[in-house]
Chains A and B, each alone.
Chain A
């Protein structure tokens, strides 16, 4: 008996050694570029991963040391703690993906004025939203998610889908903008085709960014109920959605990055170019000797179609009735402002198609 136990323990030790080997190499200076994840992980195939890929790409191309840190829990204290830990380990630039970091950055940007912060999807403010302040060592990037959502919704209806679904993660501004954009896009296409009576949508926030069996079961219910395609919007929840879609033989729309490689059920993805914008921001930062240049320091950039930072993936296009050319024409209209899309996240857009808000 003891032999078995010691065998198991020995196995544990050997395996944990293997784990060490595969981790990143340490250098004496620590890690210069740090990424702190929000509640997800860097393999969520969406938000955190996109940001991480940007960090990784820039750092590798420019021979910088880099690492990522994951807060122990979902709280501002844990995020502040993790940012400090990253700085202790030598971080000069801290990339924080997610609106969840707004409070944390508000706290740390003044404490560590020699460290540069890049906040994606948010603007620093204190805990009760009373004071907004972006210090000169912080740069914020926001995206026009409503444009990406609009393109996806428009494409889905033009492709011939009539019963749509929107599965959001937590009801946070970025997710809401995606969702309301999706509603507006579907509505616009339905009005163009004169099928507003046929197009309907189920709309639900699952309240998290991790896949669960409950989400999968609920999505199976939607599919059985007739839903043809679901826009799965948030982190790892697409796993639950594609599992349901595979069983039902139905379709999914991905989010943030081109997820078509993850499952054959994903017909397209409402993308925002996280990786690209992180690389661009870091390039500007290092050109200016490691501090934010004047046009970025303390400022918020809102990236959308004009900057080429939102869109659908044309390289992996799989839709038949809605072609790449039609998409490009639509994209131009969004870019030139011919089509205006509301970015309000406090009230649902007024549309003529029926939307079943289930929250």
Chain B
């Protein structure tokens, strides 16, 4: 082993786990910026992961996936986006049209999603077969580019855990930034989250804007679900291990701003990964005298987040009108 290999691993794994956090937190940002609290991110991730994983095994069985691996992966990503969007419509309908409590609506969807996932998985795979295995062709390897395998820093960094979702996440991140800050739509969306009455008074359709916000969060959340499942690498088991909630924390940590969210998700992922690598990194203290010392590193991301939040919370500012159903009669 060499230093470079460990470092390459560490950085590669950080990016791998930052991708789902980034996507889902961006999704949450769009929803909340439009004025709808999206607790249902976890559920959206589960549904996105479920539908895309089923698509993947379908493509695998038909032989299409092996022949065109990355095209197959792209289809899966589109399916994840579409299914996440459809699922998020339920939240949009409940919280925008029916003016239901957004937190409760979101929680209900979070409970629905895993149950629905198990039912559908069993229906497809047979009773008791809870794990949907992800085909191995989904990973992008040196062979895709015709590069000779070598033990170099670059190859270890890039090709060990490289999936199409990473590329898509980078594209979507740039798109999200431009959409939110550089377009008329973005300005209108943000205004609906700050002061919907004022937005309405200048002719912006608040309902439509909020629908757009929630659907975008569904799209990003669904893709995030797939990104998490490929990152975890162990198949889909009707759960995304709380990453939806983690993404909510990342979004708040990132102050509802795309660039800060990018930083926050990388930061979170890095500290999460360091815990797992702690015994391979020589300069980190190993706390051998403490019983169950491994948990010290597992606690790290949360402790550091708390400290950072304490230091920055004065500047933190949520969209003003989030969580409040829009009522035209209210001023």
Q: Are A239 and B123 closer than 8 Å at their CB atoms? A: no
- Residue A236 lies at the interface, judged by CB distance under 8 Å to chain B: yes
CB within 8 A of B1: which of A19, A68, A211, A224? A224
* A5 B93 Cβ-Cβ under 8 A: yes
| Chain A residues packing against B (C-beta within 8 Å) | 1-2, 4-5, 8, 12, 15-16, 18-19, 22-24, 41-43, 52, 68, 202, 210-214, 216-218, 220-222, 224-226, 236, 239-240, 243-244, 246-248, 356, 358-359
Q: Check if A4 sits within 8 Å of B89, measured CB to CB.
A: yes
Task: Considering the complex, give the chain B residue whose CB is closest to the CB of A12.
Answer: B116
Which residues from chain B contact A358 at a C-beta distance below 8 Å? 279, 294
Subset of 29 A-B contacts with CB under 8 Å: A8-B87, A15-B123, A16-B123, A19-B120, A22-B126, A24-B127, A42-B128, A43-B129, A202-B279, A211-B235, A213-B228, A213-B241, A216-B232, A216-B234, A220-B9, A220-B161, A221-B276, A221-B279, A221-B280, A224-B5, A236-B234, A236-B237, A239-B233, A239-B235, A240-B232, A243-B234, A244-B233, A247-B161, A358-B279
> Would B13 and A217 count as touching, CB distance under 8 A?
yes
**B:79-131 near A, CB below 8 Å:** 86-87, 89-90, 93, 97, 116, 119-120, 122-123, 126-131
A3 to B1, CA, bound (A): 59
List the A side residues contacting B156 at CB < 8 Å. Answer: 224
The majority secondary structure among interface residues of chain B is: helix
User: Is B136 close to A, CB under 8 A?
Assistant: yes
Residues on the B chain within 8 Å of A15, using CB: 119-120, 123
In the complex, are the beta carbons of B237 and A210 less than 8 A apart?
yes
A23 to B122, CA, bound (A): 9
Identify A239's interface contact among B126, B139, B234, CB under 8 A. B234
5 tightest Cβ-Cβ pairs between the two chains A and B:
A243-B233, A211-B234, A239-B234, A217-B276, A213-B232
How many angstroms between the C-alpha atoms of A218 and B280 in the bound complex?
Answer: 9
A22 touches B116 (CB 8 A): no
- Give A205 Cβ to nearest chain B Cβ, in Å: 10
Give chain B residues whose Cβ lies under 8 Å from the Cβ of A211.
232, 234-235, 237
Shortest C-beta distance, B49 to chain A (Å), equals 13
Report Cα–Cα, A224/B17, bound state, in Å: 18
**Which one of A22, A217, A218, A240 has the highest number of Cβ atoms from chain B below 10 Å of its Cβ?**
A217
Kindly report which residue of chain B lies nearest to residue A247, judged by CB atoms.
B160
Say yes or no: A248 contacts B160, CB within 8 Å: yes
Kindly supply a per-residue 1/0 record for chain B positions 139-160, scoring 1 wherever the CB is within 8 Å of any chain A CB and 0 otherwise: 1000000000000000010001
- Are B97 and A1 touching (Cβ within 8 A)? yes
Which of B90, B127, B160, B275 is close to A23, meaning CB atoms less than 8 Å apart? B127
